[in-house]
Structure 1
Amino acid sequence: MDNHLFNPAGPLGFPKAEVADHPADPAHAYPEYLESGELEKKGYHVEEIGSGSGFYWVTNSFYDAAFLRTGQGVIAIDAPPNLGEFMLSAIEEVTDEPVTHVVYSHWHSDHIGAAAMYGPDVKIISHQITHDLLKRWPDPLRPLPTETFTDEATLDVGGVKLELSYKGENHCPGNIFIYAPQQKALTAIDIVSPGWSVFFHCDASENITGWIDAHDQILDYDFDVIVGGHQTRYGTRADVLAHREYVHDIVDYSWEVLREEVGSELMVEAGPRKRWTWAENQFNYMANQVTHRTLTKETSTGQKWTERLGGASNMTKYHAWTIMESIRLHRTHDDYQRRDGKSAYIW
């Protein structure tokens, strides 16, 4: 498809990304099950993970979720509609236990929008904010939670435990951490996509400062495996450390570029009556600077980010724009307009 057909808006729309412009994703982003034909045959992959038994990861290679077998019923974590009833198939593949409990990670439809499939009799646990948001915007496919908490809670079914924790807004209000201590398995949705750069604009997160901090909050847990909600595989502590490094590179270069005030000549070029043209060019120019510096640097392993994270060449510019704008809004401006026209930066 040529760019004219792809983008009838022409220069007012987005250009078509060309495959040839991007390097191949690193091999570790594509685990063995993708080569086995399993997804084409079954529609899903299920795998027991963690250092104990009974915790399972389910994926269709773009969305993933988890469940815990307790001996007295299954605790399901999330219900992505993109995975849908294949989640039920995965549960039925490994146990005869019914689903008795469902934990909502957060309120977004792309992660719990098939929850009605678990039936009307399950107990649904979420943060109070998730309950309130779902009550405000009802969705029959996302039944209201039957139990809520505000800070910390423990779900205990037959002695098998999940520790639920809310550490403040990150990806969205009410997004919780779900930890299986016996299995050392953590579910933290839409913060890290193991082996990959996350989706556009820091996974469409609503509080970028909180989202950045969530990487450190994840690392406070004693976990062997992490379910991130997206892409091709579950992760490890090394995956979280890698993504944290990547994000902090973008943060550092965003500070650097903002303080340089690069591209101010674009305002003169646009003229006084084309201020949104100037703004678009100015912010895109700065985001391009951040993107270039992030993707050309040598990382802690001696590799570039395109060699460490799948999709980094596609997604970094969107993260750079979003993180740079978040810093501009959430952090100090370093200075403000003085009546004497002088500048006195605090740094």
Structure 2
Amino acid sequence: MCDDHQKPIAASDTPAFFGVDRYGFPEAGEHPLDPPEYYPPYFWSERFQKLGYHVEELRDGFYWVTSGGYDAAFVVTSEGVIAIDAPPTLGENMLAAIEDVTEKKVTHVIYSHWHTDHIGAAVIFGPDVEIIAHDITMELLERFPDPFRPLPTITFADHYSLTVGGVTLELDYKGENHCPGNIFIYAPAQKVLTVIDILSPGSATFMHCDASQNITAWYEAQHQIMEYDFDFLVAGHHMKYGTPELVKEGIEYFGDVLEGAQLAIDKYSPSDRLIDILLKPGLDRFWVGTENWINSMANYATKHVLEKKTSNGKLWSERLAGVTTQTKYHAYTVLESIRLERPRPNYRKRGENPPPFHA
């Protein structure tokens, strides 16, 4: 537990409903229930509770598979099945889902990116499949070998068009976003787009912008999704597939996170304010002052997002699941993105004394 010196100095900027129990853990009752529309009917079904997966045809042989936390996809063609990803949380249930709808074998596997939480069960498809991935995904899997993530057999740099049994998938790399090598996978005939770990339809995504590496590019990828003509989005997480409206909702939410983070930096980083925050705990407690500064900004940005009326007049907690638990993590990550990835408005001039610490 933190001592008094380590508490954020801007406690008044913390949303009022962030209650904790005597151990410091959040009180569930202090958080609003998830919006009821977050949980689709399949989630409450006896079949899902028993089997642990749900499979649904989106359009013309393109299927979405979910464990209720992770999702993947596959396409049935006249010559076999194309699988997209193999999350360990689905594991062999991915095979069960395919067998639910076809007797055809998996002939091709596409890796969206190299992270094990999305392709860590790819070994289930056996040794005779073609595996398509980006060049960087190959490089990373060669560097960090994993017997459960077989190496790709086909790689590409910018674009690859895969046609199997009359079904075409267009694979594109638009640069690093969530991670290097994360690709866009588009089925033009079915109007289904697969882009993993950029948005989570109906929710706020996992903390720290879904553990993404290039946050500026991650924001860019959200808008790149909207450049496609799609009706369905396979996004990698959570309870449902995406639609254009759900994507726009996620873009609006993270726009508010970015707005709040910038306002927090503007409020707490001017030299006089920054000096006061950093030095308040004492000259011999610099890192305590630093934590106070970061916490103050994160609290301020979180409060901005959670108390703001959104475009339809509701709070974000009434529209998206997980915002009261995840927003502060997003706020911190976006704050760091602003400080590290985006242009600074000024820099210290020669001969200037204050501030003693450069934000």
Is the pair's TM-score, using the shorter chain for normalization, greater than 0.5?
yes
Q: Partner of 1:11 in structure 2?
A: 2
Q: What residue is the counterpart of 2:34 in the other structure?
A: 25
For 1:121-270, list aligned pairs within 5 A: 121-261=128-268, 264=274, 265-270=276-281
Partner of 1:304: 315
Q: Distance in 1 between matches of 2:348 and 2:178?
A: 33
CA distance in 2, matches of 1:184, 1:239: 16
Q: Secondary structure at the match of 2:280?
A: helix
State the match for 2:107 in structure 1.
100
Shift of the alpha carbon at 1:71? Answer: 1.3
* Deviation by residue 1:49-103 (Cα, 9 ceiling, x = unmatched): 13xx100000110111000001110000000001100000000000000000000
Letter in 1 for 2:135: Q
Q: 1:36 aligns with which of 38, 42, 45?
A: 45
Cα distance between partner residues in 2 of 1:152 and 1:65: 21
**How many Å apart are 1:342 and its aligned residue?**
8.9
Residue 34 of structure 1 and its aligned partner are, at CA, apart by: 1.1
Q: Give the alignment's TM-score, normalised by structure 2.
A: 0.90
Is 1:320 equivalent to 2:327 in the alignment? Answer: no
Task: Tell me which amino acid in the other structure corresponds to 2:2.
Answer: P
* Structure 2 unmatched ranges of 5 or more: 7-22, 355-359
Equivalent in the alignment of 2:98? 91
**What SS does the corresponding residue of 1:40 show, helix, strand or coil?**
helix
Matched residue SS, 1:310? coil
Q: Is 1:331 the counterpart of 2:342 in the alignment?
A: yes
> 1:266, CA displacement in angstroms?
2.3
**Amino acid across the alignment from 1:252:** E
SS in structure 2 of the partner of residue 69 of structure 1: strand
Higher relative contact order (CA 8 A, sep 6+): 2
Q: In the alignment, what sits opposite 1:76?
A: 83
**Deviation at residue 340 of structure 1 after TM alignment:** 5.1
* TM-superposed deviation, 1:338: 2.2
Q: CA RMSD in A?
A: 1.6
Match of residue 57 from structure 1: 64
SS in 2 for 1:190: coil
Q: Aligned partner of 1:331: which letter?
A: R
Query: C-alpha deviations, 1:246-297, integer Å up to 9, x for none?
Result: 1111111211221222563322221122111111111011010000001111
Conserved in 1, the CA contact under 8 Å of 2:177 and 2:221? yes
Deviation (angstroms), 1:336 = 1.2
Whether contact under 8 Å (2:61, 2:75) holds in the other structure is: yes
| Alignment match, 2:11 | none
SS at match of 1:49: strand
Indicate the SS of the match to 2:300: helix
Matched pairs, number: 332
Partners in 2 of 1:105 and 1:189 — Cα distance?
7
Q: Please report the TM-score for the alignment, with normalisation by the length of structure 1.
A: 0.93
Residue 283 (1) aligns with residue 301 (2): no
Aligned partner letter, 1:319 = H
- Look up the match of 2:56: 47
Q: Which runs of at least 4 in structure 1 moved beyond 4 Å after TM superposition?
A: none
Q: Deviations over 1:213-260 (max 9, x none)?
A: 101100000000001101111110011101111111111121122122
The alignment partner of 1:270 has SS state of coil
Deviation at 1:159, TM superposition (A): 1.4
